[in-house]
């Protein structure tokens, strides 16, 4: 069993990646950590729990699944440590079970939107988006996928391997081929790191170019997102922070050293405005982006944003 710092490090270095996997790992790590604090007096327990929560949340800034998972796991109403740990344990169990079931439900709901013969474009590597694709394939639909490489980390390679192993015909393209290739596509299916209250999607850098090219070609864009990918704090006017990653992901540092007038910008995510999104598939149903507030209120609860 990894300790909290090991899990935090795995999230930071992207050994654990993808908004859903990050959330599940964080919930489990916080639960295990809380159990180790059982001999502390209540006040110290609370302080150590908050420190642990912060360590996890600080690892990556963009996927709201992480602070949501941490907030949903750590909340408790007990005044004694053992009872608090019991509550945290059952919160984590519930969160992790829901997260696993959500993937299947999203798969089933989303697959309704996929027809026999469809060509689906996807970006990066999203377990929720892949669940939709695999479910449609399992239903016997004759589908194929166009997957983007997703520079600089090339998560598209994870996607093509997974689809290949499932027997789904797949074409890999470089990110800059998205617009040219859109002619061959019937619909776009992507995942989400965050969805803000105005229905905007924050996902892997390049997602917005898929959505814009899809709109230009009059193709639908479907987002696969568990309800815990919605961002309650955007209700308070907070913007979702876009993670800036190291230049080393983009260019060899030795080459960069020879180019004193060049700097590298490496934003890991971008924002797709709601008007480019046709439907968000969650585990509780398919919503237009304009219903983001309702999802936050009814399925996460406003208190998670301290409202
Ligand atoms: C992954 C990414 C995925 C979302 C959703 O980015 O942008 O589309 O996280 O994934 P990174 P999932 O590789 O930087 O974590 O559906 O698996 O939660």
Query: Would you place residue 162 in the very low, low, confident or very high pLDDT band (cuts 50, 70, 90)?
Result: very high
Whether 193 is catalytic? yes
Interval between CA 37 and ligand 1 midpoint (Å)? 32
Q: What is the mean pLDDT of residues 260-278?
A: 98
The annotated binding site for substrate is made up of 17-20, 60, 203-204, 229
Beta carbon of 17 within 6 Å of any ligand 1 atom? yes
DSSP annotation of 297: I
- CA–CA distance, 1 with 179 (Å, rounded to integer): 45
Q: What mean pLDDT is predicted for residues 33-43?
A: 97
How many Å lie between the centroid of ligand 1 and the Cα of residue 129?
10
Q: What angle do CA 52, 58, 64 make, to 5 degrees?
A: 105
- Model confidence at 45, pLDDT cuts 50, 70, 90, reads very high
124 is catalytic: yes
304: Cβ below 6 Å to ligand 1?
Answer: no
pLDDT at 307: 58
Q: Residue 53 has what pLDDT? A: 98
Domains and CATH numbers, the chain: 4-104 (1.20.120.420), 106-305 (3.40.50.10470)
240 in Cβ contact with 62 (< 8 Å): yes
Ligand 1: centre distance to CA 114 (Å): 21
The strand order across the sheet containing 269-272 reads 194-195, 201-204, 269-272
Tokens of 303: 């208190």
Q: How far apart are the first and last CA of the chain?
A: 36
The neighbouring-strand residues paired with 282 are 285
Strand 170-173 vs strand 144-148: parallel, antiparallel, or unpaired? parallel
ipTM: 0.99
For the cut 80, the answer to whether the pLDDT of residue 183 exceeds it is yes
What is the C-alpha separation between 266 and 154, in angstroms, rounded? 14
Q: What pLDDT does 221 receive?
A: 98
- Using a 10 angstrom Cβ sphere, with 0-12 exposed, 13-18 middle and 19 or more buried, the burial of residue 252 is exposed
Could you tell me if the CB of 191 is within 6 A of ligand 1?
Answer: yes
Residue range 54-97, pLDDT digits in tens: 999 999 999 999 999 999 999 999 999 999 999 999 999 999 99
pLDDT tens profile 205-252: 999 999 999 999 999 999 999 999 999 999 999 999 999 999 999 999
Distance (angstroms) between ligand 1 centre and the Cα of 66 equals 12
Q: Is 19 in the pocket of ligand 1 (CB under 6 A)?
A: yes
Residue 144 pairs in a beta bridge with 119
Q: CA of 245: how far to CAs of 148, 250, 261, in Å? A: 20, 9, 20
**Residue 302: its pLDDT value, please?**
86
Top mutation candidate among 24, 191, 242 for ligand 1, by most atoms within 8 Å of CB: 191
pLDDT value at residue 145: 99
Rounding to the nearest 10 degrees, give the CA dihedral for residues 65, 66, 70, 73. Answer: 40
Q: Cα separation of 55 and 281, whole Å?
A: 31
Q: Which of 118, 124, 175, 278 is catalytic?
A: 124
Residue 297 has pLDDT above 90, yes or no: yes
For residue 268 the two structure tokens come to: 């890991």
- Does 193 contact ligand 1 (Cβ within 6 A)? yes
126 within ligand 1 shell (Cβ under 6 A)? yes
If one residue of 14, 24, 98, 126 were mutated to test the ligand 1 pocket, choosing by the most ligand atoms within 8 A of its CB, it would be 126
Q: Is residue 206 within 8 Å of residue 268, measured between CB atoms?
A: no
């Amino acid at each position: 069993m990894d300790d909290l710092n090991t899990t935090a490090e795995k999230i930071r270095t992207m050994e654990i990646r993808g908004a859903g996997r990050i959330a599940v790992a964080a919930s489990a790590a916080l639960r295990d950590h809380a159990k180790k604090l059982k001999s502390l007096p209540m006040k110290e327990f609370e302080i150590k729990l908050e420190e642990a929560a912060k360590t996890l949340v600080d690892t990556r800034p963009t996927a709201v699944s992480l602070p949501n998972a941490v907030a949903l796991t750590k909340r408790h109403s007990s005044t004694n440590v053992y009872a608090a740990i019991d509550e945290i344990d059952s919160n984590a169990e519930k969160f992790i079970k829901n997260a696993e079931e959500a993937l299947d439900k999203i798969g089933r709901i989303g697959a309704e939107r996929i027809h026999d013969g469809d060509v689906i474009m996807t970006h990066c590597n999203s377990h929720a988006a892949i669940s939709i694709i695999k479910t449609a394939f399992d239903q016997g639909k004759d589908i194929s996928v166009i997957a983007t490489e997703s520079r600089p980390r090339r998560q598209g390679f994870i996607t093509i391997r997974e689809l290949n192993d499932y027997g789904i015909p797949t074409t890999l393209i470089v990110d800059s081929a998205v617009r040219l290739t859109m002619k061959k596509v019937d619909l776009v299916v992507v995942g989400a790191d965050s969805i803000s209250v105005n229905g905007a999607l924050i996902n892997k850098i390049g997602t917005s170019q898929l959505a814009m090219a899809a709109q230009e070609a009059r193709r639908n864009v479907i987002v696969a997102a568990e309800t815990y990918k919605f961002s309650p704090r955007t209700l308070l006017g907070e913007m979702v922070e876009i993670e800036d990653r190291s230049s080393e992901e983009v260019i060899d540092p030795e080459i960069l050293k020879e180019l004193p007038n060049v700097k590298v910008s490496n934003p890991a995510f971008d924002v797709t405005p709601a008007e480019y999104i046709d439907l968000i598939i969650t585990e509780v149903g398919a919503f237009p982006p304009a219903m983001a507030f309702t999802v936050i209120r009814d399925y996460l609860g406003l208190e998670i944003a301290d409202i």
